[in-house]
């Protein structure tokens, strides 16, 4: 029987939003006035969000701290130690209605500078922050986030002084690249990252679960051989975002699993994982825009 939740939305917003990423990233990378709202170098920063937004925060935290701009910690909004001596909190939310994010910013307002990054500029969140970066051109109709998350991270990378031209060109190549049958039909996927790409690995795993109900796992790459490699087997995929640690590809090959990686900017490689999620949803007859048990914004009551 067809699940009404799975057929409620047409057309396929995820497909359209996913394919628009190169163009939308370019817009975000050009927001120089908004970049100046971000915390100054040397400031101690916490970035918070839920689900996808938390994982983008993890990527940013690593990039900012590693670039020498100051201590930067990423937290799930529900588990955030923001009472520490942070100079600023960055709250990342597409909807601006996610309950844990709203609770956190309302509790912290007045004690620390709060910078919001939001997709829905009509949400209540916009009045709860001190400074606001608006990304309405990246907002989405699909419940499953693709371009808002990656566009926010593109904006954050640009704010750290990164040139995103290669990432944007790679994203277009990732949108256009053929995906082979073996990659689309694997039994299981483990996503790995190092440094800032650990957040991308967690996001790829979440995307695949949300959109296509697939079995996925995700880890920092150096943790993988401390147990999780036991899952690797023929017909399964181990997917590394960015440069792999020495010996990892050979260790995975010995298990019979496919070792997947690319020379694309890792954020562009995430676009390929989004496409695999979409194709697997299609193959299972699922509407990727409307995942089982998930809403566009998760609003929890006490
Ligand atoms: O960015 P927002 O709107 O706070 O929402 C985050 C939510 O988005 C999702 O990607 C889809 O609902 C979930 O990961 C998460 O609960």
pLDDT in tens, 159-214: 999 999 999 999 999 999 999 999 999 999 999 999 999 999 999 999 999 999 99
What residues form DSSP beta bridges with 189? Answer: 216, 237
- Our CA angle for 263, 51, 190, nearest 5°, is 45
d(CA 48, CA 129): 13
At residue 5 the predicted structure's pLDDT band, cuts being 50, 70 and 90, is very low
Q: What is the pTM of this model?
A: 0.94
At residue 299 the predicted structure's pLDDT band, cuts being 50, 70 and 90, is confident
Q: What is the pLDDT of residues 249-287, one digit of tens each?
A: 999 999 999 999 999 999 999 999 999 999 999 999 998
Residue 6 has pLDDT above 50, yes or no: no
Query: Taking Cα atoms as reference points, which of 159, 168, 273 lies closest to residue 211?
Result: 273
- Res 11: pLDDT: 64
Gap from CA of 41 to ligand 1 centroid (Å): 29
Question: How many angstroms separate the first and last alpha carbons of the chain?
Answer: 34
For atom 15 of ligand 1, which residue has the closest CA?
51
Please compute the mean of the pLDDT values over residues 219-248 and round it to a whole number.
Answer: 98
Our measurement of the distance from residue 302's CA atom to the centroid of its chain's CA atoms, rounded to an integer in Å, reads: 27
Q: Would the CB of 98 count as within 6 Å of ligand 1?
A: yes
Query: Taking Cα atoms as reference points, which of 21, 4, 7, 1 lies closest to residue 281?
Result: 7
Please compute the mean of the pLDDT values over residues 65-75 and round it to a whole number.
Answer: 98
Q: What percent of the chain has pLDDT over 90?
A: 91
Q: Would the CB of 50 count as within 6 Å of ligand 1?
A: yes
Omega before residue 20 within 30° of 0, cis: no
Residue 85 has pLDDT above 70, yes or no: yes
d(CA 183, CA 181): 5
Our measurement of the distance from residue 55's CA atom to the centroid of its chain's CA atoms, rounded to an integer in Å, reads: 5
Contact 199, 74 (CB under 8 A): yes
Cα distances (angstroms) measured from residue 182 to each of 7, 148, 236, 257: 27, 29, 9, 11
Q: Would the CB of 76 count as within 6 Å of ligand 1?
A: no
d(CA 284, CA 286): 5
Lowest mean pLDDT among 10-24, 91-105, 159-173, 179-193: 10-24
Q: Dihedral of CA 9/14/19/24: which sign?
A: positive
- Res 291: pLDDT: 82
What are the start-end ranges of the H helices in the chain?
A: 4-7, 13-19, 21-29, 32-35, 52-66, 99-108, 147-159, 165-176, 181-184, 197-212, 248-255, 266-283
Contact 126, 96 (CB under 8 A): yes
At residue 43 the predicted structure's pLDDT band, cuts being 50, 70 and 90, is very high
Task: Spell out the residues 6+ positions from residue 238 whose beta carbon is closer than 8 angstroms to its own.
Answer: 189, 190, 192, 224, 229, 232, 252, 257, 258, 259, 260
Contact 271, 171 (CB under 8 A): yes
Atom of ligand 1 nearest to the CA of 51: 14
At residue 296 the predicted structure's pLDDT band, cuts being 50, 70 and 90, is confident
Element (H, E) at 218: strand 216-220
Residue 4 has pLDDT above 70, yes or no: no
Q: What tokens does 242 get?
A: 């960015």
The ipTM value here is: 0.94
197: left (phi over 0), alpha (psi -120 to 50) or beta: alpha
Q: Would the CB of 101 count as within 6 Å of ligand 1?
A: yes
Q: pLDDT averaged over the chain?
A: 94
Q: Would the CB of 151 count as within 6 Å of ligand 1?
A: no
Q: Would the CB of 145 count as within 6 Å of ligand 1?
A: yes
Residue 9 has pLDDT above 50, yes or no: no
At residue 8 the predicted structure's pLDDT band, cuts being 50, 70 and 90, is very low
Contact 107, 113 (CB under 8 A): no
């Amino acid at each position: 029987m067809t699940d009404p939740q799975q057929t409620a939305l047409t057309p396929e917003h995820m497909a359209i939003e996913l394919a628009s990423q190169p163009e939308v990233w370019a817009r975000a990378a050009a927001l120089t006035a908004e970049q100046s709202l971000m915390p100054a170098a040397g400031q101690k920063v916490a970035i918070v969000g839920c689900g996808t937004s938390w994982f983008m925060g993890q990527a940013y935290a690593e990039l900012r701290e590693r670039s020498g701009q100051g201590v930067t910690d990423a937290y799930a909004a529900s588990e955030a130690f923001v009472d520490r001596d942070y100079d600023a909190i960055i709250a990342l939310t597409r909807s601006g209605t996610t309950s844990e994010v709203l609770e956190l910013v309302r509790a912290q307002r007045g004690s620390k500078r709060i910078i919001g990054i939001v997709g829905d500029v009509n949400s209540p969140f916009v009045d709860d922050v001190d400074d606001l970066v608006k990304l309405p051109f990246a907002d989405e109709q699909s419940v499953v986030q693709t371009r808002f998350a990656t566009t926010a991270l593109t904006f954050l990378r640009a704010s750290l002084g990164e040139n995103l031209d290669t990432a944007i060109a790679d994203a277009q190549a990732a949108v256009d690249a053929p995906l082979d049958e073996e990659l689309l039909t694997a039994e299981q996927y483990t996503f790995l990252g190092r440094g800032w790409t650990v957040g991308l690995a967690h996001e790829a795993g979440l995307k695949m679960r949300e959109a296509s109900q697939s079995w996925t796992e995700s880890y920092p790459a150096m943790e993988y051989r401390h147990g999780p490699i036991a899952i690797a087997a023929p017909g399964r995929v181990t997917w590394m975002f960015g440069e792999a640690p020495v010996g990892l590809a050979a260790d995975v090959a010995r298990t019979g699993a496919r070792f997947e990686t690319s020379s694309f900017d890792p954020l562009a490689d995430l676009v390929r994982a989004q496409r695999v999620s979409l194709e697997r949803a299609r193959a299972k007859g699922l509407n990727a825009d409307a995942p089982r048990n998930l809403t566009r914004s998760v609003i929890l009551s006490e």
